[in-house]
Structure 1
């Protein structure tokens, strides 16, 4: 696979801390790519733009031609973060893509048809409250040693203000790659594929694994990111 250049910024979702990217950061470093992680402050801002400012403040001043990758609900802050960092590419890691054309917040979309976006058994579940739930929904693709490591990175992050915010930046303003895990037990495969096509203008790239697939397969994920 061809190798790109520049730094990669990794933005965690609402059920795993930035430590969840450590295996991926190491795999990227082994391929000659610098990856920087950020910590989203739980309930720390009132809008995606405000979160973008908080994340940008954590990054080195010499950030080079960045690609920004976000996981899960952090997809809602990805366009604002990419704009703030003057990123050249966005990567959606099983991530939510806001309905910019429809002007709907995530909550608006969920109220209309929650099971179009999420698997029914995921609705109302908090995987940070029970390692069994975290294993079943997030890390069911991991071997035992990887699972033990993964569970130590589980952490909640409140992005409720962004869930209620109508998107102000078109997520299709930059080129995007959408990595769609085919065994995801949170977001439905159909919704992710449709969001990639209709909201980003790209065909998703299917990868094996569950919702936090990058933890179980950091090498494969790094290969795909290094092509950008």
Structure 2
């Protein structure tokens, strides 16, 4: 049995992982849906990693899944605990010394958004919720998500990412082909340039854990099985 550690993106609580958590448990695994101190102006990236480590406790067989802004926290956890696999789920990929607030300019994210809008047209309001995030999420789940608002402190966005290099842990990247926040063409380039790997791909938008939880669970379990022979921190990518 593996333990999937689910790290949320900016301004999100653990609720949005619930459909995926249920799917992982149906497949015989444990899941820890992490809450980060997102609204705490005294909490930076180190405190985010502390929160993840504390909520993991003494669990083992760790598969860390970092979503979106969680990409700045997931690798820090891998330096603190023995992790079998790090899965970057349509996540920001940091470089040493780069603050999250610098990531967009450094990667050309704003330009990528403009180019994607030019190709695909302006997203329509599909069911009254922010189409950047919820265009393919069932309406009842998008509505429930609105009941779990979280603020997001600017503090971690100002802190340089502290690792001198990527952690020595097997890393998988899963991008979402219909992601309107991190367009697929953009993410393919970022992953190639920063991780030196070819990302896997899944249909769905940025909140794929709500729109396709069963398919996502299958992908995550496949990664766990792929790296199952490894124990603790594996070799570099």
Scaled by the length of structure 1, the TM-score of the pair is: 0.81
1:17 aligns to 2:6 (yes or no): no
Q: How does 1:79-228 map to 2 (within 5 A)?
A: 79-100=75-96, 103-111=97-105, 113-116=108-111, 118=113, 132=128, 134-158=129-153, 160-169=154-163, 170-171=165-166, 173-227=168-222, 228=224
Cα distance change of structure 1 residues 146 and 46 upon mapping to structure 2, 3 Å threshold: closer
Cα distance change of structure 1 residues 35 and 109 upon mapping to structure 2, 3 Å threshold: closer
Q: Name the structure 2 match of 1:51.
A: 48
Cα distance, 1:190 vs structure 2 = 2.9
Contact 1:70–1:92, Cα closer than 8 Å, also in 2: yes
CA distance in 2, matches of 1:18, 1:42: 11
How well do the aligned residues superpose, as a CA RMSD in angstroms? 2.4
CA distance in 2, matches of 1:14, 1:173: 25
Offset from partner CA, 1:135-171 (integer Å, 9 cap, x none): 311111123333333433443332x333222222233
Higher radius of gyration, 1 or 2 = 2
CA distance in 1, matches of 2:140, 2:105: 39
Unaligned stretches of 5+ in structure 1?
Answer: 123-130
CA distance in 1, matches of 2:189, 2:168: 17
Scaled by the length of structure 2, the TM-score of the pair is: 0.79
Q: Secondary structure at the match of 1:88?
A: strand
Cα distance change of structure 1 residues 120 and 49 upon mapping to structure 2, 3 Å threshold: farther
Q: Name the structure 2 match of 1:126.
A: none
Cα distance change of structure 1 residues 119 and 188 upon mapping to structure 2, 3 Å threshold: farther
Offset from partner CA, 1:52-90 (integer Å, 9 cap, x none): 1122112232x1120111111111111112222221211
Contact 2:45–2:72, Cα closer than 8 Å, also in 1: yes
Offset from partner CA, 1:2-26 (integer Å, 9 cap, x none): xxx4211001111432000000000
Q: Secondary structure at the match of 2:155?
A: helix
Alignment size in residue pairs? 211
Q: Name the structure 1 match of 2:74.
A: 78
Contact 2:6–2:17, Cα closer than 8 Å, also in 1: yes
Moved more, 149-158 or 38-47: 149-158
